[in-house]
Amino acid sequence: MRALSLACALLLGVAAAAAAADENHRRVAEHYAPVVFQESRSTVLDFITKFDYDGDWKGDNNWRNAYLYDLPGHVYFSVIESTSHYFITYAFYHARDYTARPYEGFAPKSEHENDMEGLTVTVEKDGTPFGKAVLLETLAHDVFFKYDNPDNRRVSAGSLRLDGSMTFVDGRPAVFVEAEGHGVTSASRAVTASASRAALNSRSRVTWPRSSSGSIASSSGSVSSATANLFRPTMVRSPSSIDLAYSYAACSISSCW
């Protein structure tokens, strides 16, 4: 009986430690949640959303259903922790990788259903609650781009070259997501300078989905603490033109499988 009690106590201790780690990982992920500048050529297909936005886990109907359902703003995240660093991944899902210029260049461009690309922020622990970001790595199709932190240079080019430096908006990494193919890069200073400071700093919470008529709709409202975030992506049509600012919910990537 004593052995059983000890085993139960150990299991409860492990479960409590895991729960505490998960909560800490979410806090770190929220702290570094990026400001996302999403270029848009489609009022439907360039929305960042979640895989099951249509209420099912079928992957062969998301192309069609994107025109039939609201597309809630959603970003997947994952945190891996070592003794010295956090590795925080944010993944952006779009219902379709598409092209408005199918024969640009010498060969037809391909399109496909279910597109997910993203980024990883590497954070060095320094004794503070959130450490310091030292590296941003983004994925654009099958190419990885790497950016250091100009205010905390801890990474230098070696066998792999750096592609530039990170930019920040209100202390958060800023990234640019291209229209159509949805490749992710660090946002340029020109893009971040074009951001509407009032929109990014607004305390109102805004929903992402378009209205039933198909136009972009926004409405103020609160986001529950269970799914809320401090995350503020921004939709842009060009580096000099901001359309609307939206908040997005966050979900662990483990929910996908």
Note whether residue 160 is domain-resident: yes
Within a domain: 81: yes
Which of 85, 82, 89 has the alpha carbon at shortest distance from 125?
85
> Which pair of tokens denotes residue 50?
């979640």
Per-residue pLDDT at 119: 97
Look at residue 11 and tell me if it is in a domain. no
For residue 3, is it within any domain?
A: no
Determine the pLDDT at residue 228: 30
Burial of 16 (0-12, 13-18, 19+ CB in 10 A): exposed
pLDDT in tens, the chain (257 residues): 555 554 444 444 433 444 566 889 989 998 998 888 887 778 788 888 899 989 999 999 998 899 999 888 888 999 999 999 999 999 999 998 887 665 555 555 678 878 899 999 999 999 999 999 999 999 998 899 999 998 887 777 676 788 899 999 888 899 988 888 899 999 888 877 766 444 454 433 333 333 232 222 222 222 222 233 334 444 444 433 444 556 677 788 877 65
163 in any annotated domain: yes
CA distance 187 to 213: 32
pLDDT at residue 126, as a whole number: 93
Number of structural domains the chain divides into: 1
Q: Which structure tokens are listed for 21?
A: 């780690």
Please tell me the predicted confidence (pLDDT) of residue 43: 77
16 falls within a domain: no
Contacts of 88 (CB under 8 A, 6+ apart): 28, 29, 32, 77, 78, 79, 120, 121, 122, 123
- Domain contains 38: yes
Residue 5 lies in a domain: no
pLDDT at position 103: 54
Which range of residues forms the domain containing residue 103?
23-256
